[in-house]
Amino acid sequence: MSKNPTPLIHVLISVFEDRESVVELLRRIDAVTATGMRFRALLIENGSINAPVRPEDLVDLGFESEVLTLNLNLGQQRALAVGLAHLADRDDADVVVIMDGDGEDRPEDIPALVTKVLSGETPITVAGRGRRQDSLIMKTLRGAYRAVFALMTGETLPYGNFSAINGAVLRRLVRMEELWTHYPATLRCSGFPILIIPFDRGNRYAGQSRYNLVSLTVHALRSFVPFAETLLARVLWACGIIVGMGLTAIVVGAVIKVLGYASPGWLTLVAGSVLIVVLQVAAIALITLLLASTGQPRVTTIPATIGRSFVERTDVVPARKR
């Protein structure tokens, strides 16, 4: 634990080809130090080729910063997992803020997130979805995703990466394999209480977002992975209900046939159609059971174990002299 009376707040940011935005973000975080908070930035340079963050970009900051350069582009979620595993090895990682580096997560919202964690009111605070400038298509797709997610998992995920966690949460997360896939979903299934504070989204500082419909779809699909067991159970229940309804339909059709209310060939058509559906659903259930019985993966994906293997270089940049 940190012995300084003013707690040190670690800010974790994954960066990929977005140097201009992240440098501006850090400058604005530096301005937040006027509130009396102490910061230390950890940047995960996620395999950028054209615009990597350089240590000399950070020399004018009023707080110490560290750049972990990865040996390949792991994707944002896995890069964050590597960063969290790195911070978990530090004795002073009492509070960690995770945020995107493009400016949409606003630095001025950090104190509200951190204060609740420092006071012990909650171990996790997350930025809820406030107003954001999305097209009608994106709003529709996000709404559909949330509805499907709630239906399939029984949970809600009304937040993204922007969050603050305490040291106990940090050290548990880096031992969870789910963190390698999706950070926000791992928070939900970690067992810790989560306080959601709604914030409006900011505007990107520079450049254009590299997210497209395909990458957003992949990101959404990965959010289901930490809830795989719940998802498989619900699929099996749905299959059972469909099979039950199909068999009931055949019985009802047979009764109608016996009573003489069915036209010739009607029962055969209905029974054949229902049996096809039942067989397809049974096949889905069988595949689901096979997936559930495969057990744990042979290769571990626990970030605390494998995170260091992806770090090519570490550069620490001290705070500017005042």
Both structure tokens of 232: 């498989």
Bigger pLDDT: 163 vs 4: 163
Reduced to 3 states (helix: H, G, I; strand: E, B; else coil), residue 2 is coil
The model's pTM: 0.84
pLDDT of residue 315: 94
**pLDDT tens readout for residues 23-61:** 999 999 999 876 778 999 999 999 899 889 999 999 999
**pLDDT tens readout for residues 191-207:** 899 999 999 888 888 87
Say how far residue 180 (Cα) sits from the centre of its chain.
9
Put residue 154 in one of left, alpha, beta given phi > 0 → left and psi -120 to 50 → alpha.
left
Both structure tokens of 162: 């922007």
| Alpha-carbon gap, residue 256 to 266, rounded angstroms | 10
**pLDDT tens readout for residues 211-231:** 667 777 888 888 888 888 888
| Alpha-carbon gap, residue 79 to 83, rounded angstroms | 6
**pLDDT tens readout for residues 246-262:** 888 888 888 887 887 76
Say how far residue 212 (Cα) sits from the centre of its chain.
17
Residues contacting residue 243 through CB under 8 Å, at least 6 positions apart: 278, 281, 282
| Alpha-carbon gap, residue 38 to 121, rounded angstroms | 20
What's 59's DSSP letter? Answer: T
Reduced to 3 states (helix: H, G, I; strand: E, B; else coil), residue 269 is helix
